[in-house]
Amino acid sequence: MSCCPAEAVPSQQGGGPHRLVTGDCLTVLSGLPADSVDVVVTSPPYNIDLRYRAYRDQREEADYLDWMVAICTELRRVMKPDGSFFLNISGSHSRPWLPFELIVRLRPLFALQNHITWVKSIAIGADSTGHYKPVQGQRFLHHAHEHIFHLTRSGHVKLDRLAIGVPFKDKSNIARRGHAQDLHCRGNTWFIPYRTVNSRAQKFHHPGTFPVELPLWCIRLHGTPAPLVLDPFMGTGTTLLAAQREGGRGLGIDIDPSYVAIAAERLAADASPC
């Protein structure tokens, strides 16, 4: 289990309509009411020895999988029956099986309603977009994508596809196919590059954030107005920022008080930009 002392005593701070909790998510989740959350968007530690401030991202794989299954069991309990759980996770060159091992372990708990591929960088023909890190050695390709597993309790949750739709390239399709608006489904590959950051401070002193568009698109796709959005591994609060921008309420949990403080600052700055 985590070595962080904050785990023992969860503490809370406000953030406008949001709730930010410092503590171990398994403990905090067990105190939340059942059937209460509209959308979960989260990216857990990937067990790849990433240098977080408090959490040690290196467990025995079996222990990591058991831990994640216990957390996802709680997430299923707190989700509304028509809620959505978007789980962002990735393998690595050293642990390529991990996301697949996990998703198979979650099969008794959830329907895998959609499997979205988050494309972080892409080459089309001779052109490339997004950030390409140098690859060590000769065995592996540049890691350009991550998984977003869309898990639901029933597999029958209605979505608002056009809330993240894209305009038709061929406008004649609109009338010909009887579409009400100039939008079609985006599909299950989402190209969201990282914004270029020029300084360490811009990275919010956190090694593993996702771009705000990722939770924003998940929340819009789920489609509930003013949703309650939960991130049990909140980090710097990107999911809560997206919830705020969509007129929702966020509930964020992180084991590390310094990340919770950064999340509170980001939410406040975003609520009153000047």
For position 192 contacting ligand SAM by CB under 6 A, the verdict is no
CA nearest 231: which of 239, 223, 243? 239
For position 248 contacting ligand SAM by CB under 6 A, the verdict is no
Cβ proximity to ligand SAM, 38 vs 231, nearer residue:
231
For position 146 contacting ligand SAM by CB under 6 A, the verdict is no
d(CA 156, CA 237): 29
> 3-state SS of the chain: helix, strand, coil percent to 5?
30, 25, 45
Tokens of 176: 């010909």
Cβ proximity to ligand SAM, 86 vs 110, nearer residue:
86
Please check whether residue 206 is in contact with residue 259, taking contact to mean a CB–CB distance below 8 angstroms.
yes
Cβ proximity to ligand SAM, 38 vs 256, nearer residue:
256
Q: Which of 221, 256, 260, 264 binds ligand SAM (CB under 6 A)?
A: 256
| Cα within 13 Å of Cα(75), Cβ side | 32
Cβ proximity to ligand SAM, 157 vs 214, nearer residue:
214
For position 55 contacting ligand SAM by CB under 6 A, the verdict is yes
Please check whether residue 186 is in contact with residue 113, taking contact to mean a CB–CB distance below 8 angstroms.
no
Please check whether residue 76 is in contact with residue 35, taking contact to mean a CB–CB distance below 8 angstroms.
no
CB of 43 to ligand SAM, least distance (A): 4
For position 253 contacting ligand SAM by CB under 6 A, the verdict is yes
Q: Residue written as tokens 């977003």?
A: 148
CB of 168 to ligand SAM, least distance (A): 33
For position 235 contacting ligand SAM by CB under 6 A, the verdict is yes
Q: Is 16 helix (H, G, I), strand (E, B) or coil?
A: coil
Binding mask 147-176 for ligand SAM (x = CB under 6 A): ------------------------------
d(CA 141, CA 143): 6
Q: Residue written as tokens 């796709």?
A: 221
Q: Total binding residues for ligand SAM by CB under 6 A?
A: 22
For position 254 contacting ligand SAM by CB under 6 A, the verdict is yes
**Which parts of this chain interact with ligand SAM (CB under 6 A)?**
2, 24-25, 43-45, 52, 54-55, 206, 208-210, 233, 235-236, 238, 253-256, 259
